[in-house]
Amino acid sequence: MIPAKLIEKKRDGFELSAEEIEWFVEGTVENKIDDCQLSAMLMAIYFNGMSDSETFSLVSSMINSGEKFKFNNFGKYVADKHSTGGIGDKISFILSPILSSLGIIVPMIAGRGLAYTGGTIDKLESIPNFQTSINVKNFKIQIQNIGCGIISQSSEICPADKKIYSIRDLTGTIPSMPLICSSIMSKKIAEGLDGLIMDIKVGNGAFMKTISEAKTLATELKKIGSAFEIKTDITFSNMSQPLGRYAGLGCEIIESINCLKGDGPNDLIELSLELGSKILLQSKKANNENEAKKKMLKTIDDGSALKKFEEMIIAQGGNFEQLQMSQSNIKNELYICSDRGGYISSMDTEKIGWALVEMGCGRRRDKDPLDFTAGIRFNVKVGETVKKGEKVYTLFGENIKKLESAKSMLHKTFKVSSETILKPKLILS
Ligand code: URA
């Protein structure tokens, strides 16, 4: 087959066969397809979409590009949560230890930052020496020993997603239904899951800007889940403002640890409980949502979830004390203050995400270095009051030039109203 011919076929709106898709994906992994050809194919898919059978072939080829875990011999329910991406979303660090300390196996494969959204793997790598590309054999041993772990796609597991994901990040081809579905579901199916809870983010900081787009994505994800015999539940959550009080890299790990110590912001706890309760119901570890949430809160109260997260950090080589030290010694802080008093009525979350990329929390180009110390504290959020001159955002990090440039992007990213504004609902359905 000739790569350019397949690109032309997709560009002109024709359907690719299963063999053609498999050949293209294999070629991508074996470096027989150039990055420019992969980019062109992704753009053709972005504009023309894919039929159900094309999407299924893409998912299968992406799974088959690497190994697939099998944990069902452990006799425990194997489950995971995945989100479609947002700003300040650190739920994975809170939820996996909670679920794992309740006897669920959580073998998470996650990704790096995509466009303006933060990446689970980039955040974890802010913990000095934390290993995100563990080989399959050692990861299985870790899961057997402690029940949870978070790794990235690698040459062994989901290599096709690793490559396609990084090219999508750089080429404006992220918000495409078949590309999102195949990226998410290939990773989740490779994990050998019994059950999955999908957190579909909706709003101005999400890839799905409207609930109707989010519902279409939900239908597609559920179709793939059921074809691969994974119980798939969906939650729609509001991403029209950042989640939690912090967004960035190391600061999100610290905020997650605080949550596990029982000292986290309400929105993080609310969403973690909502998502986790679906897994406890699927696995029959709880009979109703109330019971599920109580069980989860108990793992925070008795310290077992925190202990599990610490075990995971140690198992993956990380040094949490060093992260704490570097976060408490950050040199620079800049502020964005309100020029009037009132209620914060909205935030431009996507722009905030791009400012975070500018600060070094994400990449514009493949080799861009990250600044693990950088982040933003949201001192006030939608529905809260602010006084004239009060700090709305605190920007921090090692590189003052980058902070200044991010600051100039952030000026018009929130609105203040003199009318009372209610706190927006976090769980949309
Ligand atoms: N998460 C993924 O893993 N892939 C996407 O395309 C979007 C969110």
Q: Assess whether pLDDT exceeds 90 at residue 74.
A: no
Confidence of residue 283 (pLDDT cuts 50, 70, 90): very high
- Per DSSP, the three-state class of 282 is helix
pLDDT tens digits along 125-164 = 999 999 999 999 999 999 999 999 999 999 999 999 999 9
pLDDT tens digits along 54-67 = 999 999 999 999 99
pLDDT of residue 5: 97
Contact 80, 243 (CB under 8 A): no
Contacts of residue 259, Cβ cutoff 8 Å, sequence gap at least 6: 94, 265, 268, 269, 272, 300
pLDDT tens digits along 350-384 = 999 999 999 999 998 888 899 999 999 999 999 99
**Are both 354 and 296 inside the same structural domain?**
no
| Separation CA 349–CA 355 (nearest Å) | 10
Q: Which domain holds residue 359?
A: 333-417
Q: Which residues pair with 248 in a beta bridge?
A: 375
Atom of ligand 1 at shortest distance to CA of 84? 8
**Are both 307 and 339 inside the same structural domain?**
no
Residue from 10, 90, 187, 231 carrying the catalytic annotation: 187
Nearest to 344 by CA among 299, 393, 305: 393
Contact 285, 159 (CB under 8 A): no
**Are both 126 and 248 inside the same structural domain?**
yes
Nearest to 230 by CA among 379, 366, 68, 357: 68
Q: Which of 259, 291, 323 is the last residue of a domain?
A: 323
Residue 304 tokens read as 């077992």
Mutate to test the pocket of ligand 1, among 42, 114, 166 (most ligand atoms within 8 A of CB): 114
Summarize the confidence of residues 12-27 as an average pLDDT.
97
Q: Assess whether pLDDT exceeds 80 at residue 73.
A: no
Q: Considering the domain boundaries, does residue 29 fall inside one?
A: yes
**Are both 183 and 84 inside the same structural domain?**
yes
CATH number for position 32: 1.20.970.10
Shortest-distance Cα residue to atom 1 of ligand 1: 84
Q: For a pLDDT cut of 70, what percent of the chain falls above it?
A: 100
| Separation CA 160–CA 177 (nearest Å) | 17
Q: Assess whether pLDDT exceeds 90 at residue 326.
A: no
Confidence of residue 72 (pLDDT cuts 50, 70, 90): confident
Ligand 1 pocket list (CB less than 6 A): 84-85, 111, 114, 180, 183-184, 187
CATH number for position 394: 3.90.1170.30
Q: Considering the domain boundaries, does residue 233 fall inside one?
A: yes
Residue 345 tokens read as 């009525």
Q: How many domains does the chain have?
A: 3
Q: Assess whether pLDDT exceeds 90 at residue 298.
A: yes
pLDDT of residue 328: 84
Mutate to test the pocket of ligand 1, among 157, 171, 183 (most ligand atoms within 8 A of CB): 183
- Per DSSP, the three-state class of 412 is coil
pLDDT tens digits along 170-222 = 999 999 999 999 999 999 999 999 999 999 999 999 999 999 999 999 999 99
Nearest to 169 by CA among 353, 412, 6, 12: 353
- Listing DSSP states for 303-363 in one string gives SHHHHHHHHHHHHTT--HHHHHHHHHT--EEEEEE-SS-EEEEEE-HHHHHHHHIIIIIS-
**Are both 125 and 150 inside the same structural domain?**
yes
183 is catalytic: yes
Type and span of the H or E element at 403: helix 400-410
Q: Considering the domain boundaries, does residue 428 fall inside one?
A: no
Summarize the confidence of residues 67-74 as an average pLDDT.
86
